[in-house]
Amino acid sequence: MENARPKQADDNHRGLECRACGCKHFRVIYTRAYRGGQVSRRRECRHCGRRMTTRERAIG
């Protein structure tokens, strides 16, 4: 495969992971937009139900 992206050391730790159970699957409860292009999302783990808030911004 010529076009395959080379594997990096942090590939196994990419993305969100629930601190309680280790699950990587979440549902978004609500989303709120802020000035400057920032977005806050309240997420809930699909496995254990623990909730967390993420803050995101566009790169570019």
pLDDT of residue 52: 95
How far apart CA 18 and CA 38 sit, in angstroms, is 22
10-residue mean pLDDT profile of the chain (60 residues): values are 55 82 95 93 96 90
3-state secondary structure of 12: helix
pLDDT of residue 36: 87
C-alpha closest to that of 54 among 28, 36, 35: 28
How far apart CA 28 and CA 42 sit, in angstroms, is 6
Find the Cα–Cα–Cα–Cα dihedral 36, 30, 48, 21, rounded to 10°. -10
pLDDT of residue 32: 96
